[in-house]
Structure 1
Amino acid sequence: MKLAFYLTAAVMIAAALALLLWPLVRHGRRQGHPGGLFALVLAVAFVVPLSAGGLYLLVGTPVALDGVVAQPAMDIDRAVAALRDHLKQQPDDLQGWLLLAQTESTLHHNVQARDAYDQSLRLDPKNGAAMVGWAEADSMIRDDHRIEGRALELLRQAVQADPSNQRGLWLLGISQFQHEDYAASAATWRRLQPLLEPGSSVAKAVTEQIAVAEARAGAQPASASSGDGPHLTVQVQLAPALRDKLKPGAALFVYARAEQGPPMPLAVARLDASQLPTTVTLTDAMAMAPQFKLSSVDKVLVGARVSASGQAIARPGDLEGEAGVVAVDHAGPIRIVIDKVHP
Structure 2
Amino acid sequence: MKFAFYIAAAVMIAVALALLLVPLLRNGRKSGQPRGVFALMLLIVLAVPAGTALLYLRVGTPSTLNGVATQAAQVTDINKALDELRAHLASNPKDVQGWMLLAQAATEMQHMDEARDAFAHVLQVTPNDTTAMVGWAESDAALQPDHRIGDRAHELLEQAVKLEPDNQRGLWLLGISDFQQGHFADAAATWRVLQPQLQPGSNVAQAVAQQIALADARAGGTPASASRTGASSPVQAPAAALQVKVAIAPALKAKLATGDSLFVYARAPSGPPMPLAVARLSASQLPATVTLTDAMSMLPSMKLSSVPRVFVGARISHSGQAVARPGDLEGDAGVVAVDSKTPVSILIDKVH
> TM-score interval w.r.t. the shorter chain?
0.5 to 0.7
- Partners of 1:340 and 1:106 in 2: CA distance: 20
Of 37, 40, 44 in structure 2, the residue corresponding to residue 9 of structure 1 is: 37
- Amino acid corresponding to residue 214 of structure 1 in structure 2: I
- Partners of 2:172 and 2:84 in 1: CA distance: 33
Kept in 2, the 8 Å contact 1:236–1:276? The answer is no
Task: Between 241-250 and 261-270, report the one with greater CA deviation.
Answer: 241-250
Per the TM alignment, residue 274 of structure 1 is displaced from its structure 2 partner at its CA by 9.0
Query: What CA RMSD, in Å, does the superposition of the two structures yield over aligned residues?
Result: 5.3
Of 184, 201, 204 in structure 1, the residue corresponding to residue 186 of structure 2 is: 184
Of 233, 251, 258 in structure 1, the residue corresponding to residue 261 of structure 2 is: 251
- 2:60 corresponds to which residue? none
Closer/same/farther in 2, CA of residues 7 and 178 from structure 1, 3 Å limit: farther
Closer/same/farther in 2, CA of residues 8 and 230 from structure 1, 3 Å limit: same
Q: Deviations over 1:289-313 (max 9, x none)?
A: 6554232368989887653321325
Per the TM alignment, residue 122 of structure 1 is displaced from its structure 2 partner at its CA by 2.4
- 2:96 corresponds to which residue? 94
Q: Deviations over 1:81-128 (max 9, x none)?
A: 444333333323434433332333344332222112222222333332
Q: Matches of residues 57-136 of structure 1 in structure 2 within 5 Å?
A: 72-73=74-75, 76-136=78-138
- Partners of 1:301 and 1:338 in 2: CA distance: 12
After TM superposition, the score normalised by the length of structure 2 is 0.57
- 1:158 corresponds to which residue? 160
- Amino acid corresponding to residue 138 of structure 2 in structure 1: E
Task: Between 76-85 and 272-281, report the one with greater CA deviation.
Answer: 272-281
Of 165, 174, 177 in structure 1, the residue corresponding to residue 176 of structure 2 is: 174
- Partners of 1:145 and 1:231 in 2: CA distance: 21
- 1:147 corresponds to which residue? 149
- Amino acid corresponding to residue 168 of structure 2 in structure 1: Q
Of 239, 250, 267 in structure 2, the residue corresponding to residue 230 of structure 1 is: 239
Kept in 2, the 8 Å contact 1:104–1:110? The answer is yes
Per the TM alignment, residue 250 of structure 1 is displaced from its structure 2 partner at its CA by 3.9
Per the TM alignment, residue 208 of structure 1 is displaced from its structure 2 partner at its CA by 0.9
SS of the residue aligned with 2:33? helix
- 1:210 corresponds to which residue? 208
- Partners of 1:103 and 1:338 in 2: CA distance: 25
- 2:304 corresponds to which residue? 294
- Amino acid corresponding to residue 161 of structure 2 in structure 1: V
Task: Between 289-298 and 84-93, report the one with greater CA deviation.
Answer: 289-298
Kept in 1, the 8 Å contact 2:262–2:316? The answer is yes
Kept in 2, the 8 Å contact 1:255–1:282? The answer is yes
SS of the residue aligned with 2:278? strand
SS of the residue aligned with 1:5? coil
Q: Deviations over 1:200-243 (max 9, x none)?
A: 47x8344212221133235479xxxxxx963759899999x999
- Amino acid corresponding to residue 230 of structure 1 in structure 2: A
Please say if 1:269 is aligned against 2:279.
Answer: yes
- Partners of 2:287 and 2:104 in 1: CA distance: 42
Per the TM alignment, residue 321 of structure 1 is displaced from its structure 2 partner at its CA by 11
After TM superposition, the score normalised by the length of structure 1 is 0.58
Unpaired runs of at least 5, structure 2: 1-28, 58-69, 220-236
SS of the residue aligned with 1:117? helix
- Amino acid corresponding to residue 152 of structure 1 in structure 2: H
- Partners of 1:5 and 1:173 in 2: CA distance: 39
- 1:45 corresponds to which residue? none
Please say if 1:310 is aligned against 2:308.
Answer: no
Kept in 1, the 8 Å contact 2:263–2:315? The answer is yes
* Structure whose residues are more often helix by fraction: 2
Q: Deviations over 1:239-284 (max 9, x none)?
A: 9x999987555435354668xx569743223467799999988542
Closer/same/farther in 2, CA of residues 288 and 64 from structure 1, 3 Å limit: farther
- Partners of 1:126 and 1:329 in 2: CA distance: 44
Kept in 1, the 8 Å contact 2:148–2:177? The answer is yes
- Partners of 1:183 and 1:149 in 2: CA distance: 18
* Residue-pair matches, total: 286
- 1:52 corresponds to which residue? none
- Amino acid corresponding to residue 41 of structure 2 in structure 1: I
Q: Percent identity?
A: 44
